[in-house]
């Protein structure tokens, strides 16, 4: 899937402040076009003037910003009650999602960081590939899965995935690179992406192919409920959901999980094969 597949569609959602707003994401002449009503105009006005035209914000596909997705990744295998991390994690092309061994773990974050693309080639490197975040995963993920008290079969796969596989952050295009303002705009753009039918259909296809026993919701704070609601809407059989903080913070604060909640309706859950 590429951004060119996103046709214009207005999406009504809620901003980080809780106010409703309308935002439109579409591709025009190989540029990502983002527009919205007055409720989100103040955020969009923080984007540099050269990217603002009548009709919205236009981010060109000029090589500076990759317009392709970062695929999900098989990061390791669950063996003897711990994650055996692969030395060379495997990126999952869209047509290979069914290769994932079922009843494992899916760690969901949000959307790609700019470091998830190679600085020179701009090719996708994989989700959560920053060195400190990888160290955090190696140090804490096994315990986090064990604390969830969900039965994971031997040799099941551990997958890291972004519900939205395209970059939602516009920080590189803003006049004032305030991280607080950039995050609020990122959250608004992310919610519009995730509400788009093409994105939601792709997310549902991936999750149903993975058939996880455990889904770990770990995006940034303001996006935790939208991601969790998107997973719950799928009614995945034999799956449980837990929430925790984003993995980039795990070295500052040890992650913890709440009691798992089942994702499938009563009477539909079954034991792993």
**Alpha helices per DSSP H over the chain:** 38-44, 131-147, 179-195, 197-210, 224-232
Residue 105 to residues 96, 111, 148, Cα–Cα distance (Å): 17, 18, 11
| Coil vs helix vs strand at 13 | strand
Q: pLDDT by residue (tens digit) across 212-244?
A: 999 999 999 999 999 999 999 998 887 899 999
Phi, psi of 27 (to 5 degrees): -110, 125
Q: What pLDDT does 141 receive?
A: 96
Cβ atoms of residues 255 and 270 within 8 Å: no
Quick one: pLDDT at residue 271? 37
Calpha distance 269→2 (Å, rounded): 35
Q: At 210, is the pLDDT very low, low, confident or very high (cuts 50, 70, 90)?
A: very high
Hey, which residues does 92 pair with through a beta bridge?
72
Average pLDDT, the chain: 81
Classify residue 194 by its DSSP letter.
H
- Closest among 247, 260, 239, 243 to 83, alpha carbons compared: 247
pLDDT of residue 40: 56
Give yes or no for residue 175 having a pLDDT over 50. yes
Highest mean pLDDT among 62-71, 150-159, 185-194, 249-258: 150-159
Reported as type and span, the H/E element at residue 27 is strand 20-28
Domains of the chain by residue range: 3-64+167-199, 72-165+210-262
- CA neighbours closer than 13 Å in the CB half-sphere of residue 76: 17
pTM given for the model:
0.84
pLDDT surpasses 70 at 66: no
Q: Could you give the CA distance from residue 205 to residue 168 in angstroms, rounded to a whole number?
A: 21
For residue 110 the two structure tokens come to 């949000």
Q: Is residue 11's pLDDT more than 60?
A: no
Count Cβ atoms below 10 Å from residue 253 Cβ, excluding itself.
8
Closest CA to 260 of 208, 213, 201, 206: 213
Cα 194 to Cα 203: distance, rounded to the nearest angstrom = 9
**Which DSSP string do the residues of 109-138 spell out, in sequence order?**
--S--GGGB-TTT--B--TT-SHHHHHHHH
Total residues belonging to the chain: 273
Per-residue DSSP letter, 208? H
């Amino acid at each position: 899937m590429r951004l060119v597949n996103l046709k214009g569609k207005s999406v009504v959602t809620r901003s980080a402040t809780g106010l409703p707003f309308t935002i439109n994401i579409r591709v025009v002449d190989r540029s990502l076009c983002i527009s919205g009503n007055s409720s989100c105009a103040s955020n969009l006005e923080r984007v540099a003037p050269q990217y603002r035209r009548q009709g919205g914000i236009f981010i060109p596909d000029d090589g500076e910003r990759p317009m392709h997705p970062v695929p999900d990744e098989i990061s390791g295998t669950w063996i003897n009650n711990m994650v055996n991390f692969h030395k060379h994690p495997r990126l999952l092309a869209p047509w290979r999602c069914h290769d994932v061994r079922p009843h494992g773990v899916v760690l969901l974050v949000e959307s790609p960081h700019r470091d998830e693309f190679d600085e020179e080639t701009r090719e996708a490197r994989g989700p959560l590939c920053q060195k400190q975040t990888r160290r955090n995963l190696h140090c804490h993920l096994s315990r986090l899965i064990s604390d969830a008290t969900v039965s994971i079969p031997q040799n099941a796969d551990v997958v890291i995935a972004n519900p939205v596989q395209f970059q939602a952050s516009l920080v590189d295009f803003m006049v004032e690179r305030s991280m607080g303002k950039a995050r609020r705009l990122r959250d608004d753009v992310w919610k519009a992406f995730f509400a788009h039918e093409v994105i939601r259909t792709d997310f549902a296809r991936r999750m149903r192919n993975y058939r996880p026993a455990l889904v770990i919701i770990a995006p940034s704070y303001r996006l935790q409920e939208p991601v969790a609601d998107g997973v719950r809407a799928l009614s995945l059989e034999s799956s449980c959901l837990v929430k925790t903080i984003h993995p980039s913070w795990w070295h500052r604060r040890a992650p913890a999980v709440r009691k798992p909640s089942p994702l499938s309706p009563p009477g539909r859950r079954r034991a792993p094969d």
